[in-house]
Structure 1
């Protein structure tokens, strides 16, 4: 019996040694060198693994960047600071990534919308959407059960007393998880800097909207006609903003009769050019409606009849020659 144990141990040891040698051989001959930049890029990333970059996670994105298959500015969560660091690692120029945040396409909370009855089912938007849509008549409205709040990995969403999600733009990373979770597709990603937002997603005709929601879009087209830069169009009975064209002048929000369009912030009431002007023409080039007049190296002025108070001339000026006046300043 002892000899059996002895030879068994020898044979098992021999097999183990053979397998170890095979693994060592494979490790040496099939080893793939990993680009050291991948680890550096991954360390730079926020580590959210949210997938907003289009890849499975931060490691996958880092590998894609190192291989040249993804842009250095492809992480919307990290923004410009992260893209700048990645550009340094890659030895390339920084590709600025504009921050985007989630915006709600509905302003009709419990106070503004007509109720269809009670809902006693599972308290999730997905469940309610499969049954009767919750308690609101409008089939495009937010159901208010907070699926978006639950799925948000950054706690950027809270549900207010009116049954609508409130998104903190400073906390939101634009990962898009809430958008994917919403069964009614009433969330979208918009530029962080944008001030104008249409809070409706209904494609019903105006007559029906008036009966179901106090703040719904009635397709009157007043915003389309009022927009000085053609940034709004009607699509299937709904006003839609082109954020790339919008200059955040707020005129559309003022013209909207139902309050569907929200302007976040205080509207500019007057714009003037002061004596600091050196005639560089930067303000004139930035003006979307050609309201700035003046020759090179001479004091410019603003045609108040044309000016839409968007403030782009102020942003373009680098010598503090443009003054903005708000309603609070004029009181």
Structure 2
């Protein structure tokens, strides 16, 4: 479905760590923004028109507001630099969401593993795990202490949080923490792809645990099947339009070329911003986000990368 947006106000800016900007977002009329469960994110529509996804992290004592943390990436696609340089206090921007593709599910034992800015979706999970009475630990790695956001907030949890700056201790020890999680435990991991791959490999040998991940980039296994890229027709149910999608062109790009406005952020099948309901037809999934159950159901697709198995898809657009 098309994403509805709402206007928010930048109420505060703060430096959370070297290169990490914290923004507090509030309703312009002073009301409360929608509540969000741990793991939720928003899609931020920047002044340039770029759309970027950011996890929400709790702001203690600020009910009805949202907080995001943005790592400046000079060699990225431009969104983080624009956030740092263009979003001053009192700036108004539009957002879609919140949505949650990384929910905290019930478990008596939890292990959280964060790499760098991957701490952001995990931070509110810790508070929720405390509220639920779960047994939990956090292992948090980064390049240096100066680059690691939220260390003062995490200090209140004492020795349940292990902080591992790489310049002091080297890479994270994953085997020790994972071996200590009993059967039925859940592992939540967010960070760069090498960390996710390392955790996935270890959890594959530990079937007693359930792993949940959130990615910044497409998984290596999400490549297009060889020889499967053929053209098809995308029918937009709500507008009554039909848009041809040629071979070599994504659904998203075909819609843009036809003048159809659709929110999208990563454009590589990881964030879910362009997630669209499929009313008819069978999608060919090439994303790194949907669960096996969601893929089998066939009623959702990420139109930035996924295609059609047949000559026609009917979308809720």
Q: Where on the TM-score scale, by shorter chain, does this alignment land: which range? A: under 0.3
Question: What is the TM-score normalised by the length of structure 2?
Answer: 0.27
Question: Between Structure 1 and Structure 2, whose CA radius of gyration is higher?
Answer: 1
Higher relative contact order by CA 8 Å / sep ≥ 6: 1 or 2? 2
Give the helix-richer structure, 1 or 2: 1
